[in-house]
Structures are given as C-alpha cells and as structure tokens.
Structure 1
Amino acid sequence: MATLPTTTSEITAEWMTEALQGSATIPAGVTVAKVLLDPAGAGVGFMGEVATVGVVYDGDAGNAPTTMIAKFPTQSPEIRAMMQPTRIYEREHRFYSELAHMSPVRTPAIFHVTCEVADAAADEAYMLLMEDLSDLQLGDQVSGTTVDQARAALIGLAAHHAQFWNGAGMENADFIPVINGPLNQAGSPIYEASLPGFMEAFGTAIKPELADFVAGYAAMRPQILDELAAMPHTLVHFDYRADNLFFDDAGAVVVIDWQAISQGGGVADVAYLLSQNLTVDDRRAHEPELLRAYHDALVEAGVSDYGFDVLTADYRVGVGCGWMIPVLAVGSLDFTSERAVALWTAVIERAQSALIDHGFGS
C-alpha cells in the first residue's frame, strides 16, 4: 500500500491509483500515469491545506475526473493538538462517508476518504479527495452574497435541516456532537486564546456598546450553546458562509466544509449566513423576508412543529452565537493577505451591526 500523503507535494501516481481504484472512481485496469501538482498554489489555512490536483490516466478512465481537490489537516503539531478536542477532522470525514448521501443539498462528490481516529493527534490520519467545483460560481464573503444568493442558500439549507429534523437519521451518528456538548464547549478557551491577537488587530474597530460583550463572550457562550441545544435538533453545518457555498447554473446551492457539524438549532446556520455574509444594508432591508423564505421552505419540506414566531426569537440567539468565528479567525490571521484582511474587516462590521440590531449592545 502506498504511503498516505500528508501534504500536496507527497501525492504520488501510485497512491492516487490505489485511492481511485479503491473508491471505484476508476476501474481496476486503469492507472494514474501522472499527477499534476502545484504545492505553491495550495491554499494553506489555520486548520488545513486545500489544493487542486490534475490527473492523467493510463487506460480508459471513462468519466473519471481529470482534476480534483485534495484536502489535508494542518501539519502544525501545535494547532492539531489544540483542535483535536473539537474532533473537527473526524466530523467532516465521517459526514462525507456516512451522511452526505442523505442530505437533499448538493455536496461535492468524494473520491477518497482516509479517516483514522486516535487518542492522540499525532496518531490520527485524515485526507479527502473530492470534486473540483471551480466551474460553479463561488460565493464571495468579502463583497457579500447577493439577496438572491442568500435566498437560494436558505432554501437549500431548509431542505437539509428538514431532512434531519428532530435528529432523524442521526440516531447512530455518535461523531456529531450535541451543540452544547464538550467538543463545542472547547471553543470558549480557544476564544480566550485568540482574543488578544484579535484585539491587537481589530480592537479599534470594536463599537463601544459591544466592548463588554466582546470581552465577556467566552463566559456567555455556554448559555448561548445551551439555548441552541434546547431548540429542535437538526444537522447544523455551523460554518454556513459565502466562501463555503457554490451556486450552479440554476442558482441552487452546493455546500462544502462540513468540519463543524453539530446537532442543535438550525438557526445557528441561518443567523451566521445573514448576519456576516450580507452587507449591513441588505440584511436590514431583507432580513424578515429571508427568514420567511427559510421558514416557508422548512414547512414545505414537512416541518410542522416550528412556528415563524419561534424561529424569529431563536434567530437572535444564532446571531449571538456567530461572534465566535471572526475572533478565532483573526487571532491567527495572515496579514500579508489583502483579501483576508478585507474579509474580516467586512465581517466584523456586519457582525457588530447585527448584534446591536438584535439587542446585544450595552
């Protein structure tokens, strides 16, 4: 058996042949003659690496893809150890293996999954090969989703949430934590560790009426998670933002990056999308209409025990929940990336406006 790669530059034709034959992506008589790698072009983030891999086949590979996406966990031992209590890599890899086929929302086709769980981060192994979606339109969190994109994303999300409503289909999915369980509670100390870097970078952008909220958020988060856990449970994406959403030619949403999945209130996804991905003006102008579109789609998909008035009350909790994300991201931000700085500048402005609009300011 060829050695499992841990980074883009380690992918070999031999390993790729075994991986693609093992998933029946190519037949046994076909091999990978060459892999076309560009390690310098790999996207390396806080939690991992993503790269496009070209594939040249020897033999008739039929409709097998000639490009695909390779996704690896971070190779930083320190970050791997910090993230291990959250089980984010296991969550995503097992989602694709065990649950993705159940969701009505489109996810990338998967050509290989390695998911070796262990007690220590150094002993774990994870790797994904998946569909290259670059021919679709990717959402842009910097400029913000359009109102039409947000509506399409919410309609797809509602169909997904309805499929798993009240825990349906997750009875044996022990790898998906309850939203207020220990794995997600681990976010509070990570927030505390990230906050000094965040304040150094963006402290001057914090609105005075939110200063206490920002400083005390880690202590508040357990209650926020408890409130989300008390809502009807569904399969929550928990990172439902524009940069994880593609749109096909018909405008339907395609969703990637399932590392944070949890069981709890679906409004966490709804609120994150609307509060941090629409411009402030668009959110204020269209928020009620978009919430109604989501709720109508839930009802159409068979959810009958969740009134619109309850949704709107729960939505406020979801807005509060989303504040975790920019602090965690900015605490380790690469400030040489103009797009990253522009992204989080916009997100912080949008998130604060939503928090104030929904009563979190002092």
Structure 2
Amino acid sequence: MRRGTPMSTPVDDHPSHGGIVDDPAEITTDWLTGVLRAGGVDGTVTALRHERIGTGQVGANYRLHLDHTGAAPRTLVVKLAAGDEDSRRRVGPGYRAEVGFYTTFAHQTRVRVPRCWHGAISRDRTRFTLVLEDAHPARPGSQLAGCEVASALDAVRNLAGLHAAFWNSEHLLTGTRWMRRVDEAGAAFLGATQVDATARFVRLFGDALDPEDADTMTRAADLTARWLAAEGSPFSLLHGDYRLDNLLFPPDGAEGVVAVDWQTLAVGLPARDLAYFVSTALSGPSRRAHEQALIRAYHERLTDLGVSGYPLADCVADYRRGLPQGPMIISIGAVFATARRTAASDEMFLSMTRNACAAIRDADALAAVAR
C-alpha cells in the first residue's frame, strides 16, 4: 500500500471535463484512462463496471472493475458525495477535508493510506470525486467485533506515522486556506454543537443507552468548549475518526493496516486520535489489560520517526486528556450522518459509547478537563 501520490485537481478548483461525478456510471473509459496515464500508467481502460462497497455514513464508495490493455490496476475505488443537498452542505467541510488530505498531506506522512489517483471537489463542497487505490483483499475492522491486541498495536504504530510527520508543524497553521486550528470562537461553536448533538443522541437512543453512559456523554459535552480551547502543545494533523471501521486490515492478520475516511481531518492534540482508537476498539477488560502497552508502542514509534522532547509520561497524560474525543465524534456522527439509520449502525454507536465512556470514567478524564 503506497502513501498518497495524487494526480489531482486541487481543493477549491472546479474542474471541467467531468472531473466530479455523482454517479459512478458517469465515469467513462476515456476519462479513467486519462486519470491513470496522468499517474504514470501506460495503459488503456477498455471497459469497466462498478459495485457499491462499504457502509459509509457521509459518503458513497464503489469498486471499479477494469478491463484494460497495458499495466493499469484491475480494480480501483471511487468515493463520491451522498445524501440530499441539505445533508451535503452540512457535511461539506468533511468532503473538503478528505479531498484536501489526499491532495495536500498524504504523500508527506508515514501513515499507510491508499494511493490517490484523482481528487476534485466543487466550490460549494457538495460534490466531490476521489479515485483511490483498492486495498482489497484487506477488509475493514468492526466496532462490534473489536480487534486482537496485535492488530491494535499495528494500528497505533500506523497512527504515529501520521502525527510524527506534522508534529508541532507551523505549516499546518499557514500552509492551506481550509485547514485551521480551532480558536476560542471555534471551540465555543463546537462546544454548543456538541451539547445539542449529545442531547439529541441521548433522546435518540433512549432506554438502549445505559444511564451512566448518558451521564458521561452529557458531562463531556458540557466541557467540550473548554477542552478544545485549552489545547496547546503538542499539536499535529489528526485523522479525527481513527476507529476500526475506518481501518482496513490484511486478511492473514499480518501487519499493514491502512487508514481511510479522512473527513474529520483536524489540527489538535495528537493523543486525541490515540485515545479515541484505544477507547473504542477494545472492550473494557481488554483495554484495561493492554492500554499502557498500546500507549508505549505509539510513543516508541513517534520516537523512531524523529519526535523528540516528548517523554512517555507526557504521552500518558495526553492520552487521558484526549479521551473526550470519543463522546464528541460518536454523538456528532450518529446525529448528523447522511446514511440511513439501521439496527447495525445503532449497535455500532452504542458499542463505541459503552467502551469510550468506560475509559473516561476509568481515567477520571473529565476531571482533567474541568481543572
């Protein structure tokens, strides 16, 4: 799996020649041939078909099967916008973030991601097209099934490859028009959004939500603005939703997890990603047994990649500070998803809630925020 090396239309450009589509049936063999040739492939696509894959909450993914001459890949993945116009406008910043990640940042990191062959987005952020390397036969993880410790170790080491590349990098704050660190006003806005989303989340799930978890979610939401505004150093580029369903694992259990779904890209405390993954991927007993080993593995990989002046004790403390990432992403994801609500998605959100809230209580993480 290569790091992203896109041949793409920059974010905020509106390409001609059909660079953005809403339906994979609109993709022609000539257009796809041009995309691949721009990426250095000497071949011609002669026929293609598509199939829907995945269960994305705010986008639609399709696998393209190609007939071709020359050296083109046999399959690719295309990701498009989904939902009605209002839904798309609401999640437009996420579309912008994902296209921006692949076209601006992916090639600078050591995180494993699909190669991006093409990325473009409309000026109003309601339509986009990504053409990506197909990671098949790797398969997405499952929040409901959880994961083995070996897979979790691979995932946190991979995550360190994202953070190390942009550790305290001022380029994140000045290098793009669309990527900014949350300021005090932004923290207040997100805090208010989180309070509203959490109230709706608690009503939505009702009796299915454990009262203790509902209380933890509510208290975390009330502290969101303060939590975000208090972030200082270190900072880096965050995936934002680094969880099992957004990771593709090799079928044989070998190392090589690949990260996808970059719509929650942000700048902030790196350990927010780490805490979110560990606290949602593992059940309470498993997390308690392996939490410290996972933090150490992440920290060791950061050090290997050149991050200095960041002792393990600071990483452990930041992990505790990062745990409110779980309630924030879970409630907003459940309430504002454009995908149709299903029993499976409900159980996914409830499973994540149980695990994340237990981790917060075990670490007394909200007390650290409230100080």
Describe the SS at the equivalent of 2:223: helix
- Give how far 1:217 is off: 4.2
1:207 deviation in Å? 4.0
Q: Counterpart of 2:255 in 1: which secondary structure?
A: coil
Secondary structure, in 3 states, of the residue corresponding to 2:76? Answer: strand
Aligned equivalent of 1:165: 167
1:97 shift after superposition: 1.3
Tell me what 2:203 maps to: 200
Q: How does 1:28-43 map to 2 (within 5 A)?
A: 30-38=43-51, 41-43=52-54
AA aligned to 1:49 is: A
Offset at residue 269 of structure 1 (A): 0.6
Does the 8 Å contact 2:198/2:221 carry over to 1? no
Given the alignment, which residue of 312, 335, 350 partners 1:308?
A: 312
CA contact (8 A) 2:323 2:360 kept: yes
- TM-score, normalised by the number of residues in structure 2: 0.83
* Cα distance between partner residues in 2 of 1:16 and 1:186: 41
Where in structure 2 are the equivalents of 1:1-362 lying within 5 Å? 2-3=17-18, 4-21=20-37, 23-27=38-42, 30-38=43-51, 41-43=52-54, 45-57=56-68, 60-62=69-71, 64-84=72-92, 87-116=93-122, 118=123, 120-121=124-125, 125-167=127-169, 170=172, 171-180=174-183, 187-195=190-198, 197-227=200-230, 229-248=231-250, 250-331=254-335, 337-359=342-364
User: Residues 105, 211 of structure 1: CA spacing in aligned structure 2 closer, same or farther, 3 A cutoff?
Assistant: closer
Structure-2 separation of matches of 1:325 and 1:31 = 42
CA contact (8 A) 1:68 1:129 kept: yes
Q: Deviations over 1:180-229 (max 9, x none)?
A: 576676544544554455223423244444544433544421111123x3
Aligned equivalents of 1:145, 1:258: Cα separation in 2: 21
Structure 2: how far apart are the matches of 1:240 and 1:214?
A: 19
> What is the CA–CA distance in structure 1 between the aligned matches of 2:314 and 2:326, rounded to whole Å?
19
Task: Go from structure 1 to structure 2 and tell me whether the alpha carbon gap of 1:302 and 1:18 turns closer, same or farther (over 3 Å shift).
Answer: closer
CA distance in 2, matches of 1:247, 1:211: 32
Query: What is the alpha-carbon distance in structure 2 between the residues aligned to residue 181 and residue 54 of structure 1?
Result: 47
Alignment partners' CA distance in 1, 2:263 and 2:91 = 11
Cα separation, 2, equivalents of 1:156 and 1:105: 5
* Partners of 2:24 and 2:84 in 1: CA distance: 15
Give, in whole Å, the separation in 2 of the partners of 1:93 and 1:332.
20
Normalization by structure 1: what TM-score?
Answer: 0.85
Q: Is the 8 A contact 1:197 1:332 kept in 2?
A: no
3-state secondary structure, aligned to 1:53: strand
Q: What is the CA–CA distance in structure 1 between the aligned matches of 2:39 and 2:306, rounded to whole Å?
A: 35
Counterpart of 1:271 in structure 2: which amino acid? A
Q: CA deviation at 1:168?
A: 6.1
Q: 1:353 Cα shift? A: 0.9
User: Is the Cα contact below 8 Å between 1:207 and 1:352 reproduced in 2?
Assistant: no
Distance 1:156 1:245, change over 3 A: same
Structure 2: how far apart are the matches of 1:185 and 1:7?
Answer: 38
CA-CA distance at 1:261 after TM superposition: 1.6
- Contact 1:165 1:232 (C-alpha < 8 Å) held by counterparts: yes
> Given that residues 224 and 321 in structure 1 are in contact (C-alpha distance below 8 angstroms), is that contact kept between their aligned partners in structure 2?
no
CA contact under 8 A between 2:324 and 2:366: conserved in structure 1? no
| Structure 2 gaps, min length 5 | 1-15
1:136 Cα deviation from its structure 2 partner = 2.1
CA contact (8 A) 2:29 2:47 kept: yes
Question: Partners of 1:221 and 1:151 in 2: how far apart?
Answer: 28
The question of whether the paired residues in 1 share the 8 Å contact of 2:199 and 2:218 is answered with no
Of 343-352 and 268-277, the range deviating more from structure 2: 343-352
Question: Aligned in 2, Cα 1:251/1:184: closer, same or farther, shift over 3 Å?
Answer: farther
Instruction: Mark the CA change 1:319 to 1:277 in structure 2 (over 3 Å): closer, same or farther.
Output: same
Counterpart code for 1:153: A
Shift of 1:17: 3.0
Counterpart code for 1:322 = G
Count of paired positions: 347
Offset at residue 83 of structure 1 (A): 2.2
Q: Which runs of 5+ in 1 are unaligned?
A: none
The aligned amino acid for 1:165 is W
Q: Deviations along 1:252-294, whole A, 9 cap, x unmatched?
A: 3321122222222110110001101111111011111211121
